[in-house]
């Protein structure tokens, strides 16, 4: 169905869920240290619920419905202190399913508020246990409540499949000259799905993962050497897909997050700064090329952390105390 507005024709979507995906890309080559290397940011914060995780939340819920694992009115459960929980809660509200999100008590207040807006039941787990503690509690609850639908984003194939079907093709359509793809390593779903698709189109495209130093925390990311390797990474043959990894420190992430907003007008979350930092490292190492990196979400959920306006030392100290993953 279409309507006419000032002479142009605009599609009327049947559901807000139809707005997930087809996010814009923008040239931020003004940040590149090499004039022969273009930097292209894919703005995933433009998804309706605010992040790249909208894609996997929709994919996991719709696949669970198709497989008969999620029925009308059945409760969904997921451990997530971040964007996946928000996206699942929003889509569950649209579908009419109740949802329980387990999250560390140390998350930023905006995260809790967003979940409350969408009607999620929130179970807080001890902050010092981090995200792994929330996962353990969710697994225990799943055993106690087998009637609930546990999405388990770290091992759910619908996670990378969403990026293989949508994010990857969008990048290839919009930036066919891409030579390098850079993204943070969390569940590894974005890297695996996009990476597999792009390499099927052009085997010379390089796939680079951004990870924090061992023992340090960067919002939304993990270091594979910590001992936990997401099942998705193993199942999608991540060792074979990945061409290299780049380590980004928490302070670098904050600095690059500020550069995005101050020099490009892109108000992004902290993991987006990490992706940019990784892209800049790659740009300084190659002679020429086109690097696409993921801007995972907007900055609205991080305002209370002081990441954008506080003294950088204070912002770094605050970031280390708050779990975003």
Query: Catalytic residues, which ones?
Result: 53, 271
How far, CA to CA in Å, does 205 sit from each of 113, 178, 230?
40, 7, 23
Token readout for 291 is 């690097």
Tokens encoding 65: 């419905």
Tokens standing for residue 287: 């002679």
Q: How far from 244 is each of 39, 102, 190, 197, 261, CA to CA, in Å?
A: 18, 33, 15, 17, 27
Ordered DSSP codes for 19-48: GSS---EEE-GGG-SSTTEEEEEEEGGGST
C-alpha span between 321 and 325 (Å, rounded): 12
The span from the CA of 235 to the CA of 324, in Å, is: 25
Q: What is the DSSP letter of 155?
A: T
129 vs 135: CA distance, rounded Å: 10
Q: Do 320 and 306 meet the contact criterion of CB atoms below 8 Å apart?
A: no
3-state secondary structure of 294: strand
Distances (CA, A) of 144 to 88, 138, 140, 149, 230: 21, 10, 6, 12, 24
Q: Are 43 and 23 in contact (CB under 8 A)?
A: yes
């Amino acid at each position: 169905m279409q309507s006419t507005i000032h002479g142009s024709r605009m599609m009327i979507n049947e559901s807000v869920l139809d707005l997930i995906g087809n996010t814009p890309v923008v040239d931020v080559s003004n940040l590149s240290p090499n004039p022969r290397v273009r930097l292209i940011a894919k703005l995933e914060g433009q998804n309706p619920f605010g992040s790249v995780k909208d894609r996997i939340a929709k994919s996991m819920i719709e696949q669970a419905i198709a497989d008969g694992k999620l029925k009308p009115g059945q409760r969904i459960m997921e451990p997530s202190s971040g964007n996946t929980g928000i996206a699942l809660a929003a889509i569950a509200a649209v579908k009419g399913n109740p949802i329980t999100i387990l999250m560390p008590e140390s998350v930023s207040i905006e995260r809790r508020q967003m979940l409350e807006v969408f009607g999620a039941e929130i179970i807080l787990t001890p902050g010092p246990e981090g995200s792994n503690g929330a996962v353990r509690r969710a697994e225990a609850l799943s055993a106690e409540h087998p009637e609930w639908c546990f999405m388990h984003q770290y091992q759910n194939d619908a996670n990378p499949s969403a990026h293989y079907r949508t994010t990857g093709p969008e990048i290839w359509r919009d930036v066919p000259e891409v030579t390098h793809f850079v993204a943070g390593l969390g569940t590894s779903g974005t890297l695996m799905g996009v990476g597999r698709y792009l390499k099927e189109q052009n085997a010379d495209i390089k796939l680079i993962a951004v990870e924090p130093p061992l023992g340090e925390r960067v919002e939304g990311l993990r270091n594979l050497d910590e001992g936990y390797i997401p099942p998705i990474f193993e199942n999608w043959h991540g060792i074979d897909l990945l061409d290299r990894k780049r380590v980004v420190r928490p302070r670098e992430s904050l600095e690059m997050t500020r550069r995005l907003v101050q020099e490009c007008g892109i108000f992004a979350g902290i993991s987006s700064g990490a992706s940019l930092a990784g892209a800049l490292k790659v740009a300084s190492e190659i002679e020429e090329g086109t690097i696409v990196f993921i801007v995972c979400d907007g900055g609205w959920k991080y305002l209370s952390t002081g990441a954008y306006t506080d003294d950088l030392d204070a912002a770094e100290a605050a970031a280390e105390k708050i779990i975003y993953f």
